[in-house]
Structure 1
């Protein structure tokens, strides 16, 4: 497993919070993290400025002063900078958040023409990345089959931080994705120039996720890293967009915050934090 402090920095970059270690109970689970990362983008595209999240309170949806990637990293002895002091602080216990037994370093692996499946769908492995496993086994009432390799497993998707409806015209536009008018709505969206769809976006293509991923300069070693979340996505909840490399978890109009979080949890579950030196 990479340095624990480096992993906490990666979580901080993804969530927009200051993530710090604790020996006590974690304030957030891995599922909470994917909820926050995904919902930050969803609520931003809906025009909101803040996200209310249980146990944390109010989180700003604006990226507060992205660091200059070419500046020298602050010394480890320095206190938080002015931007960091404005962020919500989150305490997690690395022992119950990470699962080193299932870490896998893909940094020097090249799959070539090899094919892999998860849930009977192609799994494009994150070659070139180092995966830090998240502790998600036995955390869901439905069991762990979603995380396996059999027919009941969920396909793999990647979330690259800035992924939202601006990625392309979708086949679901307004109303329910199950009604008979969604193709007409898609055609109308082309005419109107509308490219946004209500929901949470991810991709089965790690290269696509990398284009939209978050980068940060580590205070641990001074190097710059890219970070992506590796998830499993519920095939019954996922909707394919016009672009084959973009998947949408649709959020219908009129859902409150609790219902929106429930939709995300039923649809996207994280199991890996991917790191790659930029």
Structure 2
């Protein structure tokens, strides 16, 4: 496992403007909370909100701190902060002992898969070659007690990667596929996309392509070793909740109109489960 302090810095980058610190007590957040917050931050920004209310954290700002070229090399300046000062930073306490799972760490830094093919959940798994995976403690953490979603068998969920500002701004539009339900809102968005290239699906985006995620990753300069790193979340995505986009390398968890914030959080929680934080030296 990399230096635990470096791991906490990676979490701070993902949860920005939160600052993550170590504690010998219980962690304030679980790995599932991590992906919930990352997803909710992006989704609520799409909707024009400036704050997120989250259990155990209270109200957190969605406005990034002042731009730092060493912190975020890929994301555009956040429009929501124009003319307004960044919100206060929230400190999050994490116990590395119950948050990370070093037994499942995997260093892909010097691995090249070439023509080798891997599959998870009947979808091609593009392994994160060039990255170092910090495993999260997610085994036996869900109500059904079944970890098959995390495996390689028929009940496994596909792998997706979550970057930063992956909100449809690249002209991503929705398509209807035979494995999705006929949700009126989803179909309306797809129909609208035929007449407007600005239409973007309402929800949470991720990608099965690590190279795409890298284009939209967060970066941070470590105070531990002085190096600059990219950071991405590695997740499993519920195949029943995932919607495919016109672009093959983008997936969407569609959030219907009218859901409350609690219902939206519940939808994300049943749709996306994290299992690794990926870091890569720039």
1:19 equivalent in alignment to 2:23? no
Task: Name the structure 2 match of 1:62.
Answer: 63
Question: In 1, are the aligned partners of 2:217 and 2:231 still within 8 Å (CA)?
Answer: yes
Of 223, 228, 251, the match for 2:227 = 223
Alignment of 1:236-255 (within 5 A): 236-255=240-259
**In the aligned structure 2, how far is the partner of 1:33 from the partner of 1:93?**
14
Question: In 1, are the aligned partners of 2:61 and 2:87 still within 8 Å (CA)?
Answer: no
Question: In 2, are the aligned partners of 1:67 and 1:216 still within 8 Å (CA)?
Answer: no
Question: In 1, are the aligned partners of 2:161 and 2:210 still within 8 Å (CA)?
Answer: yes
Alpha-carbon shift at residue 120 of structure 1 (Å): 2.0
Question: In 2, are the aligned partners of 1:124 and 1:204 still within 8 Å (CA)?
Answer: yes
Task: Name the structure 2 match of 1:36.
Answer: 37
TM-score, length-normalised on structure 2? 0.89
User: CA deviation digits over 1:126-172, x for unaligned, max 9?
Assistant: 00000000000000012211001100000000001221121333226
1:206 equivalent in alignment to 2:207? no
What SS does the corresponding residue of 1:5 show, helix, strand or coil? Answer: helix
Task: Name the structure 1 match of 2:157.
Answer: 154
Cα pair distance change 1:5/1:196, threshold 3 Å: same
Unaligned runs of 5+ in 1: 71-82
Alpha-carbon shift at residue 197 of structure 1 (Å): 1.4
Task: Name the structure 1 match of 2:108.
Answer: 106
**In the aligned structure 1, how far is the partner of 2:116 from the partner of 2:103?**
24
Unaligned runs of 5+ in 2: 72-84
Task: Name the structure 2 match of 1:120.
Answer: 122
Alignment of 1:169-180 (within 5 A): 169-171=172-174, 178-179=182-183
What SS does the corresponding residue of 2:149 show, helix, strand or coil? Answer: helix
Alpha-carbon shift at residue 64 of structure 1 (Å): 1.1
User: CA deviation digits over 1:193-217, x for unaligned, max 9?
Assistant: 4332110000000000000000110
The number of residues matched between the two structures is: 264
Task: Name the structure 1 match of 2:193.
Answer: 189
TM-score, length-normalised on structure 1? 0.90
What SS does the corresponding residue of 2:66 show, helix, strand or coil? Answer: coil
